[in-house]
Amino acid sequence: MPAGSPSTSGTPSVDPLAERYEVRPSGVPADLGALHIGRDEWGEEVALSLSNLSGITVGGLPGYGKTSLVGHWFAQLAPSPAVQFAVLDGKGGAD
């Protein structure tokens, strides 16, 4: 059975999220059709379609990677002249 493929219990045989996952900005404008999010529990790449999407809200518990996710998206989108950012932080925190 290939690494990361479902076992008979329906769970991955290895944890693909336990491996280091490094993303480096290329400096080239991203394909504005989708935003890369990361990997799912099977180790497959996941993207968010941007078709007919006017905005994105990110929420979750402290320490669960919201700031890292938004930074990853900024790095993908910042080189494009077609993108504008508006950032609101409701808690007034440093991140």
Tell me the pLDDT of the chain (95 aa) as tens digits: 445 555 556 666 777 767 777 777 777 776 788 888 888 888 888 888 988 888 888 888 989 888 888 888 888 888 888 888 887 777 666 65
Q: How far apart are the first and last CA of the chain?
A: 42
Residue 48 β-bridge partners: 35
Kindly list the domain boundaries of the chain, sorted by start residue.
16-77
The structure's pTM equals 0.63
